[in-house]
Structure 1
Amino acid sequence: MPTKKRPITKSGRPRKRKGVKIEPTGLGPKDLFLSERPPEVAELARQVEDDGGAVLATYREPLGGHALLFAALPIDKVERTAFQRDISDAHVRKLTLAMDKTRRYLDPIIAVRQDGKYLSPNGGHRLTALQELGAKAVLALVVPERKVAYQILALNIEKAHNLREKALEVVRMYRDLAGVGEVKESELALELEEPAFATLGFAYEKRGRLSGGAYHPILRRVDAFLDEPLSRAMAERERRADVLLAFDDAVSEAVAKLKEKGFDSPYLKAFVVARVNPLRFMKGETPPFDELLAQMTKRAQGMDPGKVKSEDVARSGGAAEAEA
């Protein structure tokens, strides 16, 4: 199937996507190479060398013109960021087997320096595979600005996150950032991506097997970024997670009642959520988070299995409950 192409402007460039504001630097390939280290990375380069690493190149990336280091780092000084998603053993196994077969490591990780260590926000699987294979060094793009470590969800090029992984990574990042300063949650829209991820992340911490996929579309419509410092916003996110879990309890009870009546379908939870969700009938402004969840919880608690028909459940088929 041919790839759909973007409309072309008079200049011959693809038309910008909605919300994109950047104007590229216009730097060509030869402009990206830096024969001398600019001030913004000179000290970082010295630290890399003092740490036992080697700066292989200094260059500018082509969009914003930011100076970066391409470096070989001692692998024992590189760690995953605390908020990064959990390591998938199956994914590491695939990587180690591929590296073993090809005898090559080709994809540099991203790293930021902190307290004599190098934190990688996106290279956990590659780093683990290299460690298992006994490598002494890892190639990295070393970024001077630590904030990039928190923007990696938006820039992620690794194995796609499922909802649970993304939400848990957001909440780990949330806790880490809350200890840094008084930045407001609303100022971190890029890093956190969606307010729903924060609420779901705190909920997943309390209930690891939560069927978050059933609730994510609802949260996306009623959850919003909080105009509060993270240290205070965290308590509200914890509270919203509890509200969501109370709704999940009510949904689970309704599912159990349906099963007692003889209904047997992998989509019972999706059916219950759809049945009690008033948003599908609403136009315009949606109700606040608490009002909607309270209404849906009450509906789920009062659901009468005797009024449910088998064809109603059959029509709800297709919404995934499990998250790989």
Structure 2
Amino acid sequence: MAAKKKVSKKKSAAKKKTKKKAVRKKKTGKLAPRKEQRGLKAEQVVLPLDDNAVAPLIDEIQAVGGAAIGAYREPLSGRPVVMAVLPFKAVQPTPFQRDLSPTHVKRLAEKIEESGSFLDPLIVVRGDDGSLWTPNGRHRLAAAKMLGLRQITALVSPDEELAFRILALNTEKAHNLKDRSLEVIRMAHSLAESKPRAKEVDYSAEFEAPELLTLGMIYSQNKRFAGGAYSPMLKKLDRFSERTLRVSLREREAQAARLQEIDVQVKKIIEKLKARGFKSPYLRNYVVARINPVRFHRAKKGDTTPPMSVSAALTRMASAAKKFNLDSVKPGELALVAAMSGGEGS
């Protein structure tokens, strides 16, 4: 009986151990919910209009013909913010936002007209020249102009750096690669002018990903560039530079020029493949993958060191493009690229 009890206890312990393993959550890298509460209490958020923290900002608002409606401390950071109405003409979009979409502006204006309300205030900060900038309201501003609005509502912040951080919060409407790249490169050029000693790596959070800077260089000249085909290679190799923005941007400009030269060769290969009867929309993805020197590289866990420099990779790609063997292309390989691309042809 004692032996049976021991076996039973062992089985019970094994079951409990298995159960614990089953309920153990995998590490996903996602931000876990905090147990403790953060931020200000309600009474700490309220800020009188005559408070020294917002008085200079309210003077600026009044100077452009606007009016302060109220003030408060942002609940998370405690930074002061002024709720105001501003003359439409007093606000300009930051120069590094994505390009204006006339279709989106027209649709937005129609919906505002239908609802009879301009309910979504713009975020507004001081610009480099002392004017008022909105880093996230270009389309709403254009819609207000279309509707002939005299005044718009805005949340005005004295935190000028918010103009560069706001894009990281723009997650509601996913930007495509071109939009994101153009926003980032315009922001980088603006910062390089206003802060010549700033290092590229210091703005890694604002820029989101280093390859966007290089691709942004190209998109600034060629909006039809197929950046999606080259992005996987750049992601594996590109890193933020420790050099100043002015220097790093010159280096990226050179890389962008080389990448465009490679794309010219890729286009020639694609035309030759089409002449042989290959009509897949994934031809560019296939050709670029074939000449990508780090196509099969898999980084070890925790290793962030690139296998080679971007410059070295571009040299290899250019050489591989010149030696590309058309006879080696098989229809089955194209089908595999199509499946791996997830329907994103170029």
Superposed pair shares fold, TM > 0.5: yes
Determine the structure 1 residue equivalent to 2:71. Answer: 58
Q: CA deviation at 1:25?
A: 4.4
Distance 1:16 1:215 in 2: 26
For the aligned residue pairs, the C-alpha RMSD in angstroms reads 2.3
Determine the structure 1 residue equivalent to 2:253. Answer: 238
Distance 1:312 1:157 in 2: 35
TM-score by length of 1: 0.89
Which of 84, 87, 109 lines up with 1:74 in the alignment?
Answer: 87
Determine the structure 2 residue equivalent to 1:298. Answer: 319
Q: CA deviation at 1:50?
A: 2.3
Determine the structure 2 residue equivalent to 1:47. Answer: 60
**Distance verdict in 2 for CA 1:20–1:273, change over 3 Å:** farther
Alpha carbons 1:73, 1:137 under 8 Å: kept: yes
Q: CA deviation at 1:137?
A: 0.7
**Greater mean deviation of Cα atoms: 103-112 or 268-277:** 268-277
Alpha carbons 1:54, 1:72 under 8 Å: kept: yes
Alpha carbons 1:72, 1:140 under 8 Å: kept: yes
**1:165 equivalenced with 2:165 (yes/no):** no
Determine the structure 2 residue equivalent to 1:3. Answer: none
Distance 1:238 1:124 in 2: 27
Distance 2:52 2:236 in 1: 45
- 1:19-168 equivalences in 2 (<5 Å): 25-114=38-127, 115=129, 117-157=131-171, 159-168=173-182
SS at 1:190 equivalent:
helix
**Distance verdict in 2 for CA 1:38–1:20, change over 3 Å:** farther
SS at 1:160 equivalent:
coil
Distance 2:166 2:225 in 1: 25
Unpaired segments ≥5 residues, structure 2? 1-23, 300-305
Distance 1:199 1:321 in 2: 21
Distance 2:332 2:115 in 1: 53
Which of 309, 318, 321 lines up with 1:288 in the alignment?
Answer: 309
**Greater mean deviation of Cα atoms: 38-47 or 237-246:** 38-47
**Distance verdict in 2 for CA 1:157–1:37, change over 3 Å:** farther
Q: CA deviation at 1:263?
A: 0.7
Q: Which has the larger radius of gyration?
A: 2
Q: CA deviation at 1:296?
A: 2.0
SS at 2:72 equivalent:
strand
Which amino acid in the other structure matches residue 296 of structure 1?
M
User: Residue by residue, what CA displacement relative to the aligned partner does 1:232-274 show, whole Å, maximum 9, x if unpaired?
Assistant: 2221110111121122122212211211211111010111122
**Distance verdict in 2 for CA 1:304–1:78, change over 3 Å:** same
**Distance verdict in 2 for CA 1:17–1:262, change over 3 Å:** closer
Distance 1:254 1:45 in 2: 61
Which amino acid in the other structure matches residue 261 of structure 1?
R
Aligned residues: 309
Distance 1:118 1:287 in 2: 44
Distance 1:217 1:18 in 2: 25
**Greater mean deviation of Cα atoms: 106-115 or 89-98:** 106-115
TM-score by length of 2: 0.83
Alpha carbons 2:338, 2:345 under 8 Å: kept: no
Determine the structure 2 residue equivalent to 1:12. Answer: none
Alpha carbons 1:58, 1:70 under 8 Å: kept: yes
Which amino acid in the other structure matches residue 97 of structure 1?
E
**1:195 equivalenced with 2:216 (yes/no):** no
Distance 1:254 1:157 in 2: 37
Which amino acid in the other structure matches residue 105 of structure 2?
V
Determine the structure 2 residue equivalent to 1:11. Answer: none
**1:176 equivalenced with 2:197 (yes/no):** no
Which of 312, 318, 333 lines up with 1:312 in the alignment?
Answer: 333
Q: CA deviation at 1:143?
A: 1.0
SS at 1:279 equivalent:
coil
Determine the structure 1 residue equivalent to 2:221. Answer: 206
User: Residue by residue, what CA displacement relative to the aligned partner does 1:169-220 show, whole Å, maximum 9, x if unpaired?
Assistant: 1111111111112111111111111111100000112222110011112111
**Distance verdict in 2 for CA 1:221–1:38, change over 3 Å:** farther
Q: CA deviation at 1:154?
A: 0.4
**Greater mean deviation of Cα atoms: 223-232 or 119-128:** 223-232
Unpaired segments ≥5 residues, structure 1? 1-6, 9-14
SS at 1:139 equivalent:
strand
**Distance verdict in 2 for CA 1:186–1:116, change over 3 Å:** closer
**Greater mean deviation of Cα atoms: 81-90 or 157-166:** 157-166
SS at 1:96 equivalent:
helix
Q: Identity percentage over the alignment?
A: 38
**Distance verdict in 2 for CA 1:24–1:172, change over 3 Å:** farther
Determine the structure 1 residue equivalent to 2:9. Answer: none
